[in-house]
Amino acid sequence: MSSAAALIGALWRTSCRRRLHGAPRRSSDAPAQRKLVRSGEERKPVICIEGNIASGKTTCLEYFSRTSDIEVLTEPISKWRDVRGHNPLALMYQDPARWGITLQTYVQLTMLDRHLSAVAAPVRMMERSLYSAKYIFVENLYRSGKMPEVDFAVLSEWFEWITHNISIPVDLIVYLQTTPQTCYERLKQRCREEEKVIPMEYLEATHNLYEDWLIKQTAFPLPAPVLVIPADHDQQKMLQHYEENRERILAASGT
Ligand SMILES: Nc1ncnc2c1ncn2[C@@H]1O[C@H](COP(=O)(O)OP(=O)(O)O)[C@@H](O)[C@H]1O
Ligand SMILES: Nc1ccn([C@H]2C[C@H](O)[C@@H](COP(=O)(O)O)O2)c(=O)n1
């Protein structure tokens, strides 16, 4: 994969990350943790757009890609739908107990690749993160009884090894907060073949995990401060919200 080369020749270096006053402990804040970092490259701000399925993340990223000098990375969903001729996303929805680990292992790899790839613009905005893959989707499969404990244990070991040993910098999380009902409507409208089997209960479960992680901040460590943007509004209103929040987003990323 493209970023594997970035790790070859990477340096073991002390990773000192800024910490907000009063912010909850963040997963990447291990004291004086020596982590693998990309070498030979200036560190650029990274903003992750988080939100439930079909909440409007891609639409938000499209807007910023048109109007700013920002590099936008969408989720590598085309890879999840076609790895050497196989469709692990479709398989996972057909039989989560059998194929959940297959999809989530590949999601973890492709998201790590996204995080480690060279940044081509002054600011990077990316759709979701390695963190939400684990805290929302793996967690949901496990809690709903659709992922065997051994699969969850193996994925957790991988996740913990990666986050303890590799620097995955995130400077700001923008949470597009929707109701599950809104996502259900947008999901139907988008009409992605693999997702036709998704019931409302699935969106409620992922919504609750997002809320516990990013709003109540009780479930898992936060890798970065969170900016919440209410996202149930129509497209025009959402563009206004993005415009209103542009400065805060870019300021929070340190630019
Ligand atoms: N504010 C909005 N109001 C109505 N429909 C929207 C809005 N934002 C996005 N959509 C539509 O909802 C669907 C899902 O949006 P998308 O940006 O792909 O979500 P995500 O990337 O979070 O899965 C798409 O068909 C998109 O055109
Ligand atoms: N770790 C993940 C990440 C995403 N998915 C699924 C959920 C959706 O069906 C699709 C992409 O989501 P969207 O960007 O449209 O919100 O991939 C998953 O199962 N596990």
Q: What is the ipTM of this complex?
A: 0.99
Which domain, by its residues, includes 98?
3-11+45-253
Inter-residue contact 237 to 63 (CB < 8 Å)? no
Residue 78 counted as domain residue: yes
**pLDDT-based confidence at residue 145 (cuts at 50, 70, 90):** very high
Percent pLDDT > 70 in the chain is 85
Q: Ligand 1, closest atom to CA 75?
A: 21
In a domain, 40, yes or no: no
Question: Which tokens in the block code for residue 132?
Answer: 């939400």
Q: How many domains does the chain fold into?
A: 1
Domain CATH code at residue 7: 3.40.50.300
Q: Is 216 inside any structural domain?
A: yes
Give the residue, by CA position, lying nearest to ligand 2 atom 3. Answer: 133
Burial class (CB in 10 A: 0-12, 13-18, 19+), 77: middle
Note whether residue 22 is domain-resident.
no
Q: Which atom of ligand 2 is nearest to the CA of 52?
A: 16
Residues 83-108: tens digit of each pLDDT: 999 999 999 999 999 999 999 999 99
- Is 34 among the domain residues? no
210 occurs within a structural domain: yes
The pLDDT of residue 27 is above 50: no
Q: How far is CA 167 from the centre of its chain?
A: 15
Ligand nearest to the CA of 93: 2
Question: 129: closest CA among 175, 191, 164?
Answer: 175
With 50 as the cut, is the pLDDT of residue 212 above it?
yes
d(CA 117, CA 255): 20
The answer to whether residue 150 sits within a structural domain is yes
| Bigger pLDDT: 32 vs 139 | 139
Residue type, 45: P
Ranking 11-25, 47-61, 97-111 by mean pLDDT, the lowest is 11-25
User: Does residue 187 have a known ligand-binding role?
Assistant: yes
Say which ligand is closest to the CA of 104. 2
- Asked if the structure places residue 16 within a domain, the reply is no
Ligand 2 centre distance from Cα of residue 103 (Å): 10
Q: Residues 202-220: what's their mean pLDDT?
A: 97
- The residues assigned a catalytic role are 127
* Best CA proximity match to 175, nearest among 220, 132, 215, 228: 228
